Amino acid sequence: MHELSLSEKREFYSSLLSLYEAGFSYADAFSSIESSTGSKNLNAIAACIRIEIQNGTPFGQIMQKYKQILGVQYALLVKAGDGAGKLEDVLKKVIEEIKRAQNLKSRLISSMIYPVLLFLFALGVLLFCKFFFFKVFSVMFSGGICPASLTVLAIGAFVKILAVYALIFGFFIVFLKNGRAKRAFLDFLCRHTFFAKIFKQYFFGNFFSVMSASYDAGVTVTESTAMAAPLLKTSKMTAGIAKTQKILENGGSITSAYAAAGIFDAAMISKIATGEKTGTLGKSFRSIAQDSERKLQEALDILINLMNPLSILVIGVMVGYIAVSFYSNFYGSLFSSF
């Protein structure tokens, strides 16, 4: 089974919460989810959990076993809530976290749609000119043009354009299935491009939001950090949070552990230090998450505002290329005909 999508996780935990509040036993709750869901993945995981429960496996142990499918941070948070007798409160926090993650993801995706579509449109126009429009002049001046030759040229151009797009999408699909390649590309974006701020704030927002929810649910900082660690996706972040986990496991202070990671800025460390001194770490984590989301929104607004001048620039370059190529092909074909 593959990891559930965010929408499937939201359905899973929302259904579990409503059934738990209605007084259903775990076995009956997952049996109900299994029979009512339209998702094959959700149906399969609900059936597996129901069977485990009927075999006498503790619920917390089941959540630990299927954490990769249910979302590591969410499954471990539910496990902690079940052990502490706060399952209802924890499920509500998990659902809020999933909603927040969905909103952040949709904002991030919506900001990327326009530049991607602009690139694909510009590429299509340039390929059309190269494979069809400019070649018409060569056929015209070399031996005249007829409907049949024009049709053959158009079909050939259409096939070539489709082949280029198929190659691009094929590469994209292979790339998505290659975890190492995705990590390398993400590292590049987060180090050398404007998108660095966007992705960094997105990851930090997710991380500290889960830290806040788990800490408020009674989970220790060490365990909360382990839960939220998978949300930091880049190599540098992964290495940094590993240092933090090691210091926490060895009994070091929370502030020194997070400072040693080398990935959190001074403002974040200052808020963590304040929370550690005053006993309000949950509030500090929540404040950092809110700051990260605000900075993410600001970065997305800047990106969206840049799209208009960028689109004008791209279209201008495209028109200039077509004009230059048109005249060069036209006069080249004209002179070669004499």
Q: pTM of whole model > 0.75?
A: no
Q: Lowest mean pLDDT of 4-18, 102-116, 290-304, 315-329, name the range.
A: 315-329
> Which ranges of the chain does DSSP label H, i.e. alpha helix?
6-21, 26-36, 40-54, 59-65, 67-70, 72-83, 87-128, 134-143, 147-177, 179-192, 195-216, 221-228, 235-249, 254-260, 266-278, 281-336
The mean pLDDT of the chain is: 84
| Of 338, 124, 216, nearest in space to 227 by CA | 216
Residue 253 is predicted with a pLDDT of 93
Per-residue pLDDT for 139 more than 80?
no
Lowest-confidence segment of 51-60, 128-137, 217-226 by average pLDDT: 128-137
State mean pLDDT over 120-130: 81
Of 59, 64, 30, the C-alpha closest to 47 is 30
Percent of the chain with pLDDT over 90: 30
What is the Cα–Cα distance from 90 to 224, expressed in whole angstroms? 13
Please answer whether residues 207 and 228 qualify as being in contact, where contact means their C-beta atoms are separated by less than 8 angstroms. yes
Name, in order, each residue with C-beta under 8 angstroms of 107's C-beta and a sequence gap of 6 or more.
296, 297, 300
Return the sign of the alpha-carbon dihedral for residues 185, 189, 195, 200: positive
What is the pLDDT at residue 186?
Answer: 74
Distances, alpha carbon 7 to alpha carbons 31, 71, 88, 270, in Å: 20, 12, 20, 35
Confidence category of residue 272, pLDDT binned at 50, 70, 90: very high
Provide the pLDDT confidence category of residue 338 given band limits of 50, 70 and 90: very low
Interhelix angle 195-216/221-228, nearest 10 degrees: 140
Distance (Å, whole) CA 16 – CA 87: 10
Residue 336: band (very low, low, confident or very high) from pLDDT cuts 50, 70, 90: low
Least confident of 41-45, 80-84, 202-206: 80-84
pLDDT at 327: 67
Cβ–Cβ < 8 Å for 141, 337: yes
- pLDDT tier at 141 (50, 70, 90 boundaries)? low
Residues 281, 275 contacting (CB under 8 angstroms):
yes
Q: What 3-state class would DSSP assign to 127?
A: helix
> How far is 254 from 225, CA to CA, in rounded Å?
10
Quote the Cα angle for 10-298-314, to 5°: 100
Whether residue 178 has pLDDT greater than 80? no
Q: Which residues contact 231 (CB under 8 A, 6 or more apart)?
A: 73, 203, 206, 207, 210
